[in-house]
């Protein structure tokens, strides 16, 4: 579902109410003008019930109230802007100047993805500030649409353009000469997007970007676009994450050879071309078997877990480093090896509210990462528990020195069951995957400088 299809000029309004119930009622009334069969009362009750379970405030003045109901159409999105701000949960700190209300049909299968795409869009504080300060609803609409297609091709200075063209031509030659199956372009090298129209070779081009691809015309010139959230600052780690996500999505295969081209993030300058053999890069994990993910684990769930893990590894929590262990998939087997260390904070919530694909779960997961023990996550993304002690042992594999009981527990559970374990080290920030007891560092250790 492309987001621009959901946004309608007629459903952008100036809110009069300063409380959430009133604001939602206003937005529902506008929706009902267009969709006369809309049952606004039960929808309002559903939206408020969701607010009562967990706030839908996303930060920097934006809320995303949402509800699933029998709607008769897949989605309806309404956008309300409030000059004074709408109060969330009575908290003065959480005044929403922008309220995006999403109604979804109970049968809409990509509901969590659509919710996540909207949340990603309004994560950009600059875009949000420009929407809030728009002079008219029309201008807000224009800016929102521009934000969706945010990665516009920008003209680069001549010299830089020449260099980039040269690098791209060379990449093409290397790809052909080395018999590569695809060219992987690290898109975040460019602030303003890449004009790939000069690529002439009949070779698959894959753009890797941390920006959302919803409705972005710049991406159209690439055969595939892979979104990888929260890149590590290290190049090798970036390439690894990109290949890993491409593997789980079936965009590349284990036998592929890839020509990778990239540069310093935001530099607008390609500076490196390299060739990666996927199988050799991931050999340790594969150990002769080409199933990186357990059968029951959805690729998007795995991607989400490594995104949250990478963010925790890079940013920590409130400035402090945190460690974490995620055990994903094979849950019925995994449950035989776990014991609660604390009362399970996820107990009793609806599956979709505690699904890692739900954008509101990011903060919750990060918050609970500070408690001891592991997160156990089903292959469909539902978080089964947090604060779980893993009671499995692995006598087959030796871990490098410096890695302690968290990493040992991850190795052991991945050997004992059909799961994939993801560890964030509190001491180094390194993110490591474990499958069948074998480890694959996804990001590098932080270099600690002596002062």
Per-residue binder mask for ligand ATP (CB under 6 A), 298-327, x = binder: -------------------------x-x--
Q: Which of 182, 244, 403, 440 binds ligand ATP (CB under 6 A)?
A: 403
* Binding letters toward ligand ATP, positions 422-441, x by CB under 6 A: ---xxx--------------
| Cα–Cα distance, 362 to 166 (Å, whole number) | 41
Q: How far apart are CA 319 and CA 399, in angstroms?
A: 29
CB 48 to ligand ATP: min, Å: 37
DSSP states along 129-167: HHHHT-SSHHHHHHHHHHHHT-----PPPHHHHHHHHHH
Contact region with ligand ATP (CB under 6 A), list: 39-47, 177-185, 186-194, 369-377:
369-377
* 72 or 402: CB nearest ligand ATP: 402
Q: Dihedrals φ, ψ of 179, to 5°?
A: 60, 45
Give, as ranges, the residues between 174 and 233 that touch ligand ATP (CB under 6 A): none
> What is the Cα–Cα distance from 412 to 393, expressed in whole angstroms?
5
- Minimum Å gap between C-beta 134 and ligand ATP is 45
Question: Which window, 97-105, 175-183, 358-366, 370-378, contacts ligand ATP (CB under 6 A)?
Answer: 370-378
Q: Which long-range contacts (CB under 8 A, 24 or more apart) does 414-419 make?
A: 414/327, 414/438, 416/333, 416/337, 416/392, 417/330, 417/333, 417/334, 417/337, 417/392, 418/294, 418/295, 418/296, 418/329, 418/330, 418/333, 419/294, 419/327, 419/328, 419/329, 419/330, 419/331, 419/333, 419/334
Tell me how far, at minimum, the Cβ of 304 lies from ligand ATP, in Å. Answer: 21
Residue 266: CB atoms within 10 A of its CB come to 11
Give the nearest distance from C-beta 112 to ligand ATP in angstroms.
Answer: 27
Residue 406 contacts ligand ATP per CB under 6 A: yes
Least Cβ distance, residue 415 to ligand ATP (angstroms)? 13
Query: For ligand ATP, which is the closer residue by CB, 27 or 377?
Result: 377
Would you say 184 and 228 are in contact if contact means Cβ atoms under 8 Å apart?
Answer: no
| Residue 102 β-bridge partners | 66, 77
Stretch that binds ligand ATP, among 118-126, 234-242, 405-413, 441-449 (CB under 6 A): 405-413
Q: Which of 144, 228, 374, 433 binds ligand ATP (CB under 6 A)?
A: 374
Q: Is 393 in the site for ligand ATP (CB under 6 A)?
A: no
CB-nearer residue toward ligand ATP: 205 or 430: 430
Least distance between ligand ATP and beta carbon 266 (Å): 30
Distance CA 375, CA 366 (A): 11
Is the distance from CB of 186 to CB of 263 less than 8 angstroms? yes
For ligand ATP, which residue of 389, 393, 444, 445 counts as binding (CB under 6 A)?
A: 389
| Least separation in angstroms between CB 417 and ligand ATP | 14
Residue of 15, 4, 7, 30 lying closest to 97 (CA atoms): 15
Stretch that binds ligand ATP, among 130-138, 175-183, 215-223, 400-408 (CB under 6 A): 400-408
Residue 372 binds to ligand ATP (criterion: CB under 6 A):
yes
Of 23, 390, 420, 439, the one binding ligand ATP (CB under 6 A) is 390
Regarding 407 and contact with ligand ATP (CB under 6 A), the answer is yes
| C-beta nearest to ligand ATP: residue | 404
Sign of CA dihedral 95, 100, 106, 109: negative
Q: Does 419 bind ligand ATP (CB under 6 A)?
A: no
CB 307 within 8 A of CB 228: yes
> For strand 338-340 and strand 383-390, is the pairing parallel, antiparallel, or unpaired?
antiparallel
State the residues that interact with ligand ATP by CB under 6 A: 323, 325, 372-374, 389-390, 403-407, 409, 425-427
């Amino acid at each position: 579902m492309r987001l621009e299809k959901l946004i309608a000029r007629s459903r952008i309004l100036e809110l009069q109410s300063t409380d959430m119930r009133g604001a939602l009622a206003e937005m529902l009334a506008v929706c009902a003008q267009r969709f006369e069969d809309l049952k606004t009362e039960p929808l309002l009750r559903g939206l408020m019930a969701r607010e009562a379970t967990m706030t839908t405030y996303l930060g920097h003045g934006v809320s995303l109230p949402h509800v699933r109901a029998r709607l008769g159409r897949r989605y309806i999105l309404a956008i309300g802007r409030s000059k004074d701000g709408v109060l969330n949960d009575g908290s003065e700190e959480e005044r929403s100047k922008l309220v995006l209300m999403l109604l979804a049909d109970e049968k809409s299968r990509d509901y969590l993805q659509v919710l996540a795409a909207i949340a990603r869009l309004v994560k950009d504080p600059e875009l949000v500030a420009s929407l809030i300060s728009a002079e008219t609803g029309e201008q807000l609409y224009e800016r929102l649409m521009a934000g969706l297609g945010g990665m516009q091709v920008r003209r680069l200075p001549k010299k830089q353009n020449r260099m980039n063209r040269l690098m791209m031509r060379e990449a093409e030659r290397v790809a052909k000469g080395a018999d590569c199956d695809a060219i992987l372009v690290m898109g975040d090298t460019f602030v303003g997007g890449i004009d790939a129209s000069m690529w002439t070779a009949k070779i698959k081009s894959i753009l890797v970007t941390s920006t959302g691809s919803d409705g972005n015309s710049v991406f159209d010139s690439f055969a595939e676009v892979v979104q990888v959230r929260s890149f590590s600052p290290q190049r090798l780690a970036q390439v690894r994450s990109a290949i890993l996500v491409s593997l789980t999505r079936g965009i590349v295969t284990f036998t592929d050879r890839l020509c990778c081209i990239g540069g310093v993030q935001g530099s607008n300058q390609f500076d490196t071309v390299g060739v990666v053999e996927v199988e050799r890069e991931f050999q340790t994990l594969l150990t002769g078997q080409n199933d990186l993910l357990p059968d029951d684990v959805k690729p998007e769930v795995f991607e989400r877990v490594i995104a949250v893990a990478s963010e925790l590894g890079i940013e920590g929590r409130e400035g402090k480093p945190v460690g974490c262990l995620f055990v994903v998939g094979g849950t019925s087997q995994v449950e035989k090896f776990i014991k609660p260390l604390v009362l399970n904070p996820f107990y009793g919530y609806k599956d979709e509210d505690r699904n890692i694909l739900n954008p509101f779960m990011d903060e919750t997961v990060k918050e609970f990462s500070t408690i001891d023990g592991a997160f156990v996550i089903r292959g469909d993304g539902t978080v089964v528990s947090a604060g779980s002690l893993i009671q499995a042992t692995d006598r087959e594999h030796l871990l490098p020195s410096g890695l302690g009981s968290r990493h040992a527990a991850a190795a052991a559970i991945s050997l004992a069951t059909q799961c994939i374990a993801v560890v964030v080290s509190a001491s180094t920030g390194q993110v490591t995957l474990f499958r069948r007891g074998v480890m694959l560092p996804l990001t590098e250790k932080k270099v600690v400088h002596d002062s």
